[in-house]
Structure 1
Amino acid sequence: MVKELIINSTPNGVTIALLQDKQLVELNTEHINNNYAVGDIYLGKIKKIMPGLNAAFVDVGYEKDAFLHYLDLGPQVQSLIKLTKIVKNGSYKDKLLNSFKLEQDINKSGKISEVLSRNMLLPVQIAKEPISTKGPRLSSDLSIAGRFVVLVPFSDAISISKKIRSNTERSRLKKIVESIKPKHFGVIIRTVSEGKGVAELQKDLLDLIAKWENFSVKLPLTEPSKKVLGEMGRTSTILRDILNPDFTNIHVDDPAIFEDIRSYVHEISPDLERIVKLYKNTKEPIFDHFGVEKQIKTSFGKTVNLAGGAYLVVEHTEALHVIDVNSGNRTASKENQEDNALQVNMEAAREIARQLRLRDMGGIVVIDFIDMHKPQNRKELFDYLKEQMALDRAKHTILPPSKFGLVQITRQRVRPEMNIVTNEKCPACNGTGEIKASIVLMDDIQNNLKYILTEQNEKNITLCVHPYIGAYIKKGIFSRQWHWFLKYGKWIKVKEASSYHLTEFHFLNSRDEEIKL
């Protein structure tokens, strides 16, 4: 399986597309000011204790108070509360926990009012980003994730991923970590640690210990509801979690991000540094060049067409997502109905597994497959769906098909669902039902250009337009571009974007930022 990452930088942030065998399977957006990313640690202030919910509402600076349930406190929350108090008082100077005395674990079935009180300060970690009308979901069971291991303070336990099945390898990894981990810190050994040497594991663990020391230094200086320790950017997080020798290319269109990614990849996996490549084609956007933009337009939306003629209908409600499988023109097949239903369902299962990852759909998902009467066919479909979903990094549970042919999936949701509107406004009328005379398009462009060059005195202007308009502007020996150059003494670059509608145009300055008109 050939894997590629295509990274598109925009003024608002970074969009990351994961391709497997040229097919888009994941799309992630990292905004510049994403202050509530999963893994960020804040110094929370308890605002309300809700005994009925056995939970608390915590101020972390978001417009709505964040939610912290008793079960998310972590067994060693009393140790965290104690450390926070003595660090804030300035009476604890050790950056680690060598001289710290751990408190007793809290009762698993206890009450939150026995542990927390109003206005108490407590470091909390974002477990789920703000979604819809809800604030962030929190946990005070802190952990700091690295590429090979996860550091867990106030614990001495060493846990190993269940996906590492070799007892010899498990024993080897445990011995390595036991010899290098600090006192009162637990470690979770991740799947990618399998086969790694002492030096790699030690370097990863030392990086995490350095982060904890940074946390210890910043904690006494941090104001309530402010961030103490931030998770690395979304791009680096994805690379940390999924980068492996299967990757063939990482294409980036921004020189600064390219350097950051190359240095990060060199740090975590030097042999893969060569696959990080800077995309230099300024005439065509990176997503257009690699076919990502077209796949986005065809993969999102209410109806998703499958190669064999069948299609999916995806509906969203507040409580769940519903996916209906339709055979479409496959009903004309000469095969018998049962075999035809199995083929359509298998094709749909593969696409549904991709859609869940692509849209990052979470919560409850109900799939209405085409009815099949043979038990062996239903089992075959169920096994195939589990096999396809095994590629999904989000935690999920799949129930076997019910007697009505429904399959239920619960999938972990920690970020807002990726929702891209694929329906566009009419390029001619802009949704009004009335059109502007197309003959004045070039006049509009020229008037705006004149204003930008003469009134705003901008330099190094780029005009972004639909390819048809771009071809018209560049046409001929004495083209529009040459006409503008002779008139204004400045060469106007023309950049074509197939995602634009016919009469859409934008001007960019020398920093590739849109000039607002």
Structure 2
Amino acid sequence: MNKELIINAAPQGVEIALLEDRKLVELHNEKSDARFAVGDLYLGKVKKLIPGLNAAFVDVGFEKDAFLHYTDLSPYAKSLLKFTQLSTNDKSENGLDFEKFEVEAEIVKTGKINEVLGGKPNILVQILKEPIAAKGPRLSCEISLPGRFIVITPFNNIVAVSRKIHSSEERKRLQKIVEAIKPKNFGVIVRTAAEGKNTAELHEDLSELVTTWKTIQKNLKGATPPAKILSEQTKTNSILRDLLNADFNKIVVNDRNIFQDTKSYIQRIAPEKAEIVSYYNSNSPIFDSFGITKQVKGSFGKTVNLNSGAYLIIEHTEALHVVDVNSGYKSVGNNQEQNALETNLEAAEEIARQLRLRDLGGIIVVDFIDMKLPDNKRKLVEKMEEFMQPDRAKHAVLPISKFGLMQITRQRMKPEVNINTQETCPSCNGTGKITSTLLLEDEIEKNLNYLITHQHKGLKLVVHPIMHAYLSKGWFWKTKMAKWNKQFGQKTKLEKDNNYHLTEYKFYDQNGEQIKM
């Protein structure tokens, strides 16, 4: 699989498109004034405790207080509170020696929020979810700093290895290396990308993350809430950090500064891949050149067409997203069961892509075409799980229910990507109906009669070109306008305007001012 990252820099922000085998699978938008991105660290002030929800509202500088639930406090919440207080009040020149920091006892899973945050203290928090609609950010006290090969979690000494590394020998090897090099008071999670890496590579990644933690300590010193303590990397770098592998063969950027930053980052984390970064210097838009604009227009509507003629209908409600699979004119044979299976498998691949592309979260219900054979239903679920595997968001696929519905849950991290590919028809205002030409003609005639009766001279009528042709068709003395001029004893000038919609018309007086009807 070939992966390409196309980066379009504009004054309002940066758009990032991820292509897999030239097909658009992810679209990210990083605004120039973006705040409260997932992974950002803030020094917040607890404002309100809600025992009924077992949660707290924390001021992190957003217009609405951020939400912190007890389950997101982390077992080491007391250690984090102690660390926050010591770091903000630190007067020493060298700063707090974290390896000598004494970790507090863990909190209980079934505890109450006021037992931990009763004094409404200042606390270091991490953005778990970006602000969505009218809600403020969702917070977590389980601080984690991700690198390319490992993730560090302060206040514990646990070493864990990704379950996606299937070899037991490789898992043991990585565990031994990390246990030997990790500092005290840091837990380490070994990522899938660490498979096959040597001690030097892992140690370099760990050292960079420990340096980042020292930066956090430095930024906390003397800080008063609300204050941003550390920003997550740019979306470009975070995508590269999480996804960069042997499949990546192209990164194209249309901005010199981002190009230099991206190339420097690649040279630091994967020097052998530095040559895949290139600068785009052309007059045509970068997204147009790589076919991304066309894919966006074809992928974000209510209806998504598949290559075979089948299509999806995607609807959104407050509670969930609904996807309906329709066979259209697709036919692969006379066997109805086989037709249904083939259509469902094709639809499943596109649905997995749509979930990533639109970043749909929460509950997704898919109404596949009915199948009778249990083996086919099981095959569809297995394929759905396979198609969803590249998705970085946490997700779960449930078996098809007795009603023929598949339920999928997907982690919601930020507002969904919603690009409007439709607009309301100016003629019918979305109703699908417009005034009949005969009725419109009658309406114009009545208004013209009214204006002439009220002594309006030198009138001008402006209409859509199609209506202009209708009113002026035929021999000059037999046109509709000629008949009206003769009927009312006054000549009215007729003009056309391409900017008018079909049923729009306006009257102007002899001074060129519009007459409001």
TM over 0.5: yes
In the alignment, is the contact (CA less than 8 A) between 1:9 and 1:254 conserved in 2? yes
How far has the Cα of 1:41 moved from its partner? 0.5
Q: Distance in 1 between matches of 2:396 and 2:339?
A: 27
Instruction: Tell me the TM-score normalized by structure 1.
Output: 0.81
| 3-state secondary structure, aligned to 1:328 | coil
Partner in structure 1 of residue 43 of structure 2: 43
Query: Hey, what's the Cα distance between the residues in 2 that align with 1:218 and 1:409?
Result: 41
Contact 1:148–1:201 (CA<8 Å) still a contact in 2?
yes
Offset at 1:185?
Answer: 0.7
Please report how far the alpha carbon of residue 436 of structure 1 lies from its aligned counterpart in structure 2 after TM superposition: 8.6
Partner residue of 1:337? Answer: 336
State the match for 2:438 in structure 1. none
Matched to 1:392, the amino acid is D
Partner of 1:492: none
Which amino acid is 1:169 matched to? E
Letter in 2 for 1:108: K
Paired residue type of 2:112? K
Which moves more between the two structures, 62-71 or 217-226?
217-226
| TM-score (normalised: structure 2) | 0.81
The unaligned stretches of length 5 or more in structure 1 are 438-501, 504-517
Deviation at 1:96, TM superposition (A): 4.1
Q: Report the counterpart of residue 470 of structure 1 in structure 2.
A: none
Counterpart AA for 1:83: F
Provide the C-alpha distance between the structure 2 equivalents of 1:287 and 1:427, rounded to a whole number of angstroms: 29
Question: 2:377 maps to which residue?
Answer: 378
Structure 1 residue 141: Cα displacement: 1.2
Q: CA deviation at 1:360?
A: 0.5
Alignment partner, residue 511 of structure 2: none
Q: Matched residue of 1:235: which SS?
A: helix
After superposition, give the CA deviation of every residue in 1:73-100 in whole Å (9 maximum; x if it has no partner).
0011101111122222225654441221
Q: Note closer, same or farther for the CA distance 1:430–1:30 as it changes in structure 2 (3 Å cut).
A: farther
Q: Report the Cα distance in structure 2 between the residues aligned to 1:228 and 1:301, rounded to whole angstroms.
A: 40
CA distance in 1: counterparts of 2:318 and 2:362, whole angstroms: 10
Q: Is the 8 A contact 1:154 1:186 kept in 2?
A: yes
Q: Deviations over 1:465-486 (max 9, x none)?
A: xxxxxxxxxxxxxxxxxxxxxx
Partner Cα distance (1:39, 1:427) in 2: 44
1:457 paired residue number: none
Taking a change above 3 Å as real, the CA distance of residues 192 and 436 of structure 1, as seen in their structure-2 partners, is farther
- What one-letter code is carried by the residue in structure 2 that aligns with 1:290? F
Shift of 1:132: 1.3
1:269 aligns with 2:270: yes
Corresponding residue pairs, total? 437
Quick one: which amino acid aligns to residue 100 of structure 2? S
- Per-residue deviation at 1:223? 2.1
Counterpart amino acid of residue 368 in structure 1: D
1:207-234 CA-partner distances (Å, limit 9, x unpaired): 1111110110110232201101111111
In structure 2, the residue matched to 1:421 is 420
SS in 2 for 1:394: coil
Between the aligned residues of both structures, percent identity stands at 56
In the other structure, the counterpart of 1:364 is 363
Counterpart position of 2:77: 77
CA distance in 2, matches of 1:290, 1:219: 44
Q: Mapping of 1:109-508 within 5 angstroms?
A: 109-282=110-283, 284-330=284-330, 334-424=333-423
Q: Which residue identity lines up with residue 10 of structure 2 in the other structure?
A: T
The residue type equivalent to 1:44 in the other structure is G
1:105-148 CA distances to partner (integer Å, 9 max, x unpaired)? 00111111100025410000000111111111100111111111
Kept after mapping to 2: 8 A contact 1:4/1:18 = yes
- The residue type paired with residue 185 of structure 1 is F
Once the two structures are TM-superposed, the CA of residue 179 in structure 1 deviates from its matched residue by 2.0
Distance in 1 (CA, whole Å) between partners of 2:426 and 2:240 is 38
CA positional deviation for 1:167: 1.9
C-alpha separation in 2, matches of 1:174 and 1:427? 64
Using the alignment, how far apart are the partners of 1:369 and 1:277 within structure 2?
A: 42
Deviations 1:456-503 (A, max 9, x none): xxxxxxxxxxxxxxxxxxxxxxxxxxxxxxxxxxxxxxxxxxxxxx99
**Cα 1:342/1:429, change in 2 over 3 Å:** closer
Structure 2 CA distance for aligned equivalents of residues 202 and 191 of structure 1? 16
In structure 2, how many angstroms separate the alpha carbons of the residues matched to 1:435 and 1:262? 56
What is the Cα deviation at residue 344 of structure 1? 0.9
Q: Is the 8 A contact 1:80 1:122 kept in 2?
A: yes
How far apart are 1:169 and its partner, in Å? 1.3
In 2, Cα distance between equivalents of 1:55 and 1:238: 32
CA-atom RMSD, angstroms? 2.1
- Cα distance in 1 for partners of 2:116, 2:132 equals 27
**8 Å Cα contact 2:6-2:253 kept in structure 1:** yes
Which aligned runs of 4 or more in structure 1 are off by greater than 6 angstroms? 425-431, 433-437
Residue 425 of structure 1: how far off its partner (Å): 6.3
Task: Verify the 8 A CA contact 1:252 1:279 in the aligned structure 2.
Answer: yes
Q: Is residue 36–residue 130 contact of structure 1 (8 Å, CA) maintained in 2?
A: yes
Give the letter aligned to residue 46 of structure 1: V
Cα distance change, pair 10–101 in 1 and its aligned pair in 2 (3 A): same
Between the aligned partners of 2:170 and 2:302, the Cα distance in structure 1 is: 47
Measured after TM superposition, the shift of residue 329 of structure 1 is 1.6
User: Within 5 Å, which residues of 2 pair with 1:9-28?
Assistant: 9-28=9-28
Contact 1:150–1:189, Cα closer than 8 Å, also in 2? yes
Post-superposition offset of 1:435: 8.1
